[in-house]
């Protein structure tokens, strides 16, 4: 992994968010960050990489010196927020980001609702989220952020087996998608490239970038749809979910309406098609 200098966390105020520390800058650090000058990235000249080492204090691209050639507006350090349901992933991302002075970690959240609520109060310009963030998922987060002016760019960092996830992320306005099999160096490259204005995705067949009908379903409706595939009766579904048969029927009517299908068979066929 490229050599980078460590960022001091002592200047940050640590809050707790869903059992996970949320980092918010103290005023002195925020004022210093606002004076930092950024640069345009190239694939072979990233700040903090092996060629540049850590960000030099005398480097005019980053600290109060001359403006970079071309008059490009500054982008680094980037205020970043991360959300993942796995505490180990959060810890690994925290360690990775706090060693790289291109990034200023402001928030760590363990679920999607906390992530969305916290962004209202923090000056975040780049968000990194998992695909599944109970009680909601990445598509719902992207849809919610699309309605907010000035929302951060979002990179989905996930090990999901959903082959449609990259295309769905692109369709919903995400700025990047990277798998959890990627090495740390690749992850940092993606974050930096997205911060600089690029979009970074694995190969996506644009003909398949179409709305996924399942994204409109609630978690309970998605669970119910998955259970339908097994051929369970309404009575069996009611026992499994701990609800009445009438409640099962109510959820099925909503599910069929959202999917624009008439019966279980059509719903199951659509469900299987989206999983291909």
What is the mean pLDDT for each group of 10 consecutive residues in the chain (276 residues)?
35 42 42 28 35 34 38 73 96 95 96 95 96 93 94 96 87 94 93 95 70 77 88 91 91 87 87 73
Q: 219-228 and 245-259 helices cross at what angle (nearest 10)? A: 100
| Strands 136-137, 126-129: pairing kind | unpaired
Whole-angstrom distance, CA of residue 147 vs CA of residue 72:
28
Determine how many CB atoms are found less than 10 A away from the CB of residue 10. Answer: 7
Whole-angstrom distance, CA of residue 156 vs CA of residue 178:
6
Whole-angstrom distance, CA of residue 24 vs CA of residue 36:
18
Calculate the alpha carbon distances from 50 to 53, 77, 274 in Å: 5, 18, 43
Whole-angstrom distance, CA of residue 271 vs CA of residue 269:
5
pLDDT at residue 74, rounded to an integer: 58
For CATH 1.10.10.10, the residue range(s) in the chain are 213-274
The CATH number corresponding to 12-208 among 3.40.190.10, 3.40.605.10, 3.40.50.2300, 3.90.400.10 equals 3.40.50.2300
At 36 the three-state DSSP class reads: strand
pLDDT at residue 7, rounded to an integer: 32
Q: What is the DSSP string of 88-121?
A: HHHHHHHHHHHT-TTEEEEEEESSHHHHHHHHTT
Q: E strands of 101-203, at which residues?
A: 103-109, 126-129, 132-133, 136-137, 153-158, 176-179
Per-residue tokens: 265: 């068979």
User: So what CATH class is 213-274?
Assistant: mainly alpha
Q: State the Cα angle at 188 between 19 and 105, rounded to 5°.
A: 35
Residue with tokens 């980001």: 97
For CATH 3.40.50.2300, the residue range(s) in the chain are 12-208
């Amino acid at each position: 992994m490229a050599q980078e200098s460590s960022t001091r966390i002592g200047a940050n105020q640590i809050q707790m968010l869903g059992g996970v520390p949320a980092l918010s800058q103290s005023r002195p650090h925020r004022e210093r960050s606002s004076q930092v000058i950024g640069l345009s990235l190239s694939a072979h000249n990233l700040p903090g990489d092996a060629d540049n080492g850590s960000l030099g204090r005398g480097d005019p691209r980053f600290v109060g010196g001359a403006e970079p050639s071309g008059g490009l507006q500054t982008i680094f350090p980037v205020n970043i927020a991360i959300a993942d349901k796995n505490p180990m992933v959060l810890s690994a991302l925290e360690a990775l980001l706090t060693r790289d002075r291109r990034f200023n970690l402001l928030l760590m959240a363990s679920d999607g609702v906390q992530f969305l609520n916290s962004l209202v109060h923090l000056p975040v310009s780049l968000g990194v989220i998992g695909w599944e963030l109970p009680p909601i998922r990445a598509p719902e987060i992207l849809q919610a952020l699309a309605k907010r002016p000035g929302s951060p760019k979002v990179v989905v960092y996930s090990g999901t087996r959903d082959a449609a996830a990259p295309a769905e992320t692109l369709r919903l306005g995400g700025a990047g998608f990277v798998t959890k099999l990627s090495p740390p160096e690749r992850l940092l490259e993606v974050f930096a490239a997205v911060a600089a204005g690029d979009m970074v995705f694995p190969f996506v067949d644009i003909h398949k970038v179409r709305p996924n009908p399942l994204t409109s379903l609630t978690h309970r409706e998605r669970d119910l749809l998955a259970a339908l595939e097994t051929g369970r009766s309404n009575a069996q579904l009611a026992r499994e979910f701990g609800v009445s048969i009438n409640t099962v029927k109510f959820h099925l009517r909503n599910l069929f309406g959202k999917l624009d299908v008439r019966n279980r068979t059509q719903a199951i066929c659509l469900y299987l098609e989206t999983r291909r």
